[in-house]
A and B are shown apart, each in its own frame.
Chain A
Amino acid sequence: MLTLSNINASYGDVQILRDLSLTARSGETLCLLGRNGAGKTTTLKTIMGLIRAKSGSITLDGEELTTLPPHEVPKRGIGYVPQGRRLFAEMTVAENLEIGLMTRGRGRAVRERMLDLFPVLRERYRQISGTLSGGEQQMLAMARALCLEPRVLLLDEPTEGLQPSMIALIRDVVVDLKQTDVATILVEQRVDAVLSIADRVVFIENGQSREEADAETLRANPDLVRRYVGIA
């Protein structure tokens, strides 16, 4: 279980997160919803240690993460798919996957599983990743993070700019993760996508977690979504 308690974090002098708290349980998909600039991406980066929390606590199954250097956080089992994929674009598909495998010392079996999950990556295995299509790049970004065999997976707008068939594929992967006890924290602008896969939704506003609801309640009460996101 990943727990954030009263997290404060800043970009330079600008404070972004203010006493933000949330919990992601094993096997559930937790979605963060909020307007642009609300602090969703900053929350994920703070969990990864890429932005230092000024105060507060982030624990994974009881282990404190805020005191760890950033490169130790993924070794504890947190996989990250950043916004815009952030692949190592001049490296091949194989090399990108290798980086994911190296993080927690995973080997050939995990790589084969990823290539079975995303067969197109097997076809493109020696191709430079920057030359893949947007959808293929997103698959590679997901596969690279899943190579860690994470306990928690952070997804930052994974469907951004993708065609419907790709969105469906990524949705299926996230849904399947629930069977493996992986906790998924998803930042997503597409409310329909959120409501179709989320177990719970946390609304973030001005760097604070304002309200929390399960997806079923939100489907029955679109006003709540409209209040925090502006659309429903």
Chain B
Amino acid sequence: MDLTSLLPFEMPHPALLAAGVLEGTVLAAVLALTALGLSIVFGFMRVVNVAHGEFYMLGAVLAWFVTDLVSRTIGGPPWLAFGIALMVCPLTVAAIAALCDRMILKRLNYDPEATIVATIGILYILQQLALTFYGPDARPVQAPFDFRIQLPWFGYSGYKLIVVAASIVLMLIVWLVLTRTKIGIIMRATQYDRETAQAFGIPVDRVYAGVFALGAGLAAIGAVLIVPIQQAHYLMGGEPLLLAFIVVILGGLGSLRGTIVAAIFIGLSDGIISTLYEPTLAKILATLLVAMVLVFRPQGLFGTRAA
């Protein structure tokens, strides 16, 4: 007996389902990186960084500039220009974020409410700077590798699978740094008790600048990885910011484990629903899910309730 005949809905074709899962996995990988940055900044600094999406956008736009510059001046294979962009852009974005921290957030003494307003300001400044110097056009960046992996039903971009692998490696590195290194101990000590950390020689202001830079740098890495798949555009920061907030709220504010689990869930569901039905439906369902979490479990799935 064919069990699928008992289902109340028609089973999608395996090829369509596989495509949805693959696209969802790529989205989940990039989303996990982006949301991890947002979650780290909130978890360690208690700053809700509304400009996070613009650091993502900046990473993508700078990737276009760098790859364009390298291919016009040095030339060489696409992976060379892309490799340089992957190193230079996140570092540049991290430096800009550190500058924003020292010039703006530090002066506000990291007050949770004032920093929300300040990061909204940073959002508009970065967006308008990108519009001024980059322009309103969406521009493509060539993928560093051009090969396809043949599946039973269709061939799939090898580069997209490399994006997934790179994200997993990067998240492992972040986890190792936070849990196994002296830098991680210093960051966590600052997170748990700022005053006592200072009493043990930890320069809290510098740690905060580093954390803010790390968060923005992670978003920029995600953007550089995704820009050969999507085009770079000055308004591209909005959607990843929304999705990152959904992920962080779902996983629990400041919970890195929750962030990654929620990113996988949202990414996969978005990919599958977008492929099988409508991208808009995927966003509606994700927003509904967040609303339900906020009502029934406001601390998120893995977060702890504030005392």
Q: Report if A and B associate in a common complex.
A: yes
Listed in ascending order, the chain A residues whose CB lies under 8 Å from chain B are 48-50, 69-75, 80, 82, 86, 88-91, 95, 98-100, 102-104, 144, 148
Starting from the known contacts A71-B204, A88-B189, 13 additional A-B residue pairs (CB-CB under 8 Å) come to A48-B199, A69-B203, A74-B200, A80-B200, A88-B193, A89-B192, A91-B185, A91-B192, A99-B185, A99-B186, A99-B189, A99-B197, A102-B186
Which of A80, A90, A103 meets B192, CB within 8 Å?
Answer: A90
| B153, chain A: closest CB distance, angstroms | 48
List residues of B (218-251) whose CB comes within 8 Å of A's CBs. Answer: none
B189 touches A144 (CB 8 A): no
Q: B residues within 8 A CB of A89?
A: 192
CA distance in complex: A70, B201 (Å): 8
Knowing A88-B188, A91-B185 are in contact, say whether A71-B195 is a contact too (CB < 8 A). Answer: no
| Residue in chain A with minimal CB distance to B188 | A91
Report B242 CB to chain A, min CB distance, Å. Answer: 31
> B182 at interface (Cβ–Cβ under 8 A)?
yes
In this complex, what residue of B is CB-closest to A90? B192
A72, B197: Cα distance in complex, Å: 12
Bound complex: CA A104 to CA B200 (Å) = 9
Chain B residues with CB under 8 A of A74:
199-201
Chain B residues numbered 3-50 whose CB sits less than 8 Å from any CB in chain A: none
B118 CB–A CB distance under 8 Å: no
CB distance from A63 to the nearest CB of B (A): 16
B157 at the interface (CB under 8 A from A): no
Which residues of chain A are near B201, meaning CB under 8 Å? 71-72, 74-75, 102-104
Decide if B71 is an interface residue (CB 8 Å cutoff). Answer: no
The 8 Å CB contact of B202, one of A49, A71, A90, A95, is: A71
Pair A103/B185 contact, Cβ less than 8 Å: no
Residues 173-210 of B, flagged 1 when their CB comes within 8 A of A and 0 if not, give 00000000010011011001101111111111000000
Least CB distance from B36 to A in Å reads 19
30 A-B pairs with C-beta separation under 8 A: A48-B199, A50-B198, A70-B198, A70-B199, A71-B198, A71-B201, A71-B202, A71-B204, A72-B201, A73-B199, A74-B201, A75-B201, A82-B199, A86-B193, A86-B195, A86-B196, A89-B192, A90-B192, A91-B185, A91-B192, A95-B188, A98-B185, A99-B186, A102-B182, A102-B186, A102-B200, A102-B201, A103-B200, A103-B201, A144-B200
Task: Give the distance in Å from the alpha carbon of A75 to the alpha carbon of B204 in the complex.
Answer: 14
Closest B residue, CB atoms, query A98: B185
Q: Is the CB of A90 within 8 A of B193?
A: no
Q: Complex: how many Å from CA A130 to CA B193? A: 13
